A and B are shown apart, each in its own frame.
Chain A
C-alpha cells in the first residue's frame, strides 16, 4: 500500500495507484497524486495503457477458441 503519498509520488507509488484504480475507486488524495505525476512521466502513462491492455488481453483469452 502507498502509506503516505508525497506531493509528487515516485513512479513506484504511481504504478501502485494505477493498478489499484483497476480494482477500487481511488481516494481524492490518490487521484491528486496521479494528477501531478502523470503529466510529467511518460513511462507511467505507458504503464497505464499497458495495464488496460493486460485486462483486455485476459478477457480476450477467456473468449477465444
Chain B
C-alpha cells in the first residue's frame, strides 16, 4: 500500500506554520470523524481509525503551510486507515459466495425502480443545475443520510469508488470480489442514492 503523500511545505513564512501539535490536530477530529463514520458505519471503528490517524500525524511532526494542506494530508492518512479497517471487517464477512448476507432490499432495488417491461416506474426528471445544492448545509445532511440508509454492501463499494476514489480493480482486490459483482453493486448503490436524493431533496 502506498504511503499517503505528505504535502509539507517548509518555506511559506506568511502562514506561520509551526509544528503540528496535539491541539492543532484536534481541530480536525470532527471533520475526520464524520468522514470515517460515513464509510465505516460503525462508531467504534470510526473512532479507532480517527485516533490512529491523529497519532500517526503527531508522530511525523511535519511542518505545514496552511489549513487546507493539513486537512488534505490528514484525510490521506485516514483513507488508508479506513481501507485497513474495511479489509479487516470484510475478512470476517466475505462479500462473495454468501448471497444470504445481502440485505433485504438490496437485490430488488432495480425491481422497485423499473416496471416489468423495463421502463422507469418514475421517470428521472432534470435536476436543473444540481451543483447549486453544494452550497447548502442541508443538502449535505440529506446526502449523508441517503448514504447511511443504503444497504451495507452497495454503500461500502460506492464509498470506496466515489468518495475514496479507488478504481474498481483496487476495490475488487481489497474486498476480494469479482469485477462483475463490483459493477452490479455500484449500479444498485447509484440507483438507490439517486432515488433518495430525488425524493428527499430535489423534489421537496
In the assembled complex, the Cα of A10 lies from the Cα of B184 at a distance in Å of 17
Tally chain B residues at the interface, Cβ within 8 Å.
44
Q: How far is the CB of B94 from chain A (nearest CB, A)?
A: 21
Q: Would A62 and B163 count as touching, CB distance under 8 A?
A: yes
Docked complex Cα distance between A49 and B131 (Å): 11
Does A32 belong to the interface (CB within 8 Å)? no
0/1 string, B109-129, CB within 8 A of A gives 1 = 010011001111001111100
Q: Find chain B residues with CB under 8 A from A49 CB.
A: 126-127
Specify which chain B residues have a CB less than 8 angstroms from the CB of A11 in the assembled complex: 114, 118-120
In the complex with contacts A23-B182, A50-B127, A54-B194, A13-B163 CB distance below 8 A: no
Q: Which of A19-65 contact B (CB under 8 A)?
A: 19-20, 22-24, 42-44, 46-47, 49-51, 53-62, 64-65
Residue pairs across A and B with CB atoms within 8 Å: the count is: 96
Q: Which residue of B lies closest to A46 (CB)?
A: B124
Nearest B residue to A19 via CB reads B187
Least CB distance, A4 to chain B, in whole angstroms? 13
B153 within 8 A of A: no
Q: How far is the CA of A1 from the CA of B186 in the complex (A)?
A: 12
A1-24 vs B, CB cutoff 8 Å, 1 = contact: the mask equals: 100000001111101100110111
Cβ contact within 8 Å between A50 and B124 = yes
Which residue numbers of B lie inside 8 Å of A, CB to CB? 31, 35, 71, 75, 110, 113-114, 117-120, 123-127, 130-131, 133-134, 140, 143-144, 158-159, 161-165, 168, 179-180, 182-184, 186-187, 190-191, 193-194, 197-198
Q: Can you sample 5 A-B contacts with CB below 8 Å? A: A9-B118, A13-B118, A15-B187, A46-B125, A60-B134
**Given A1-B183, A54-B194, 14 more pairs with CB closer than 8 A:** A10-B114, A12-B110, A15-B114, A15-B187, A24-B168, A24-B179, A43-B123, A46-B126, A47-B194, A50-B130, A54-B197, A55-B162, A57-B131, A64-B134
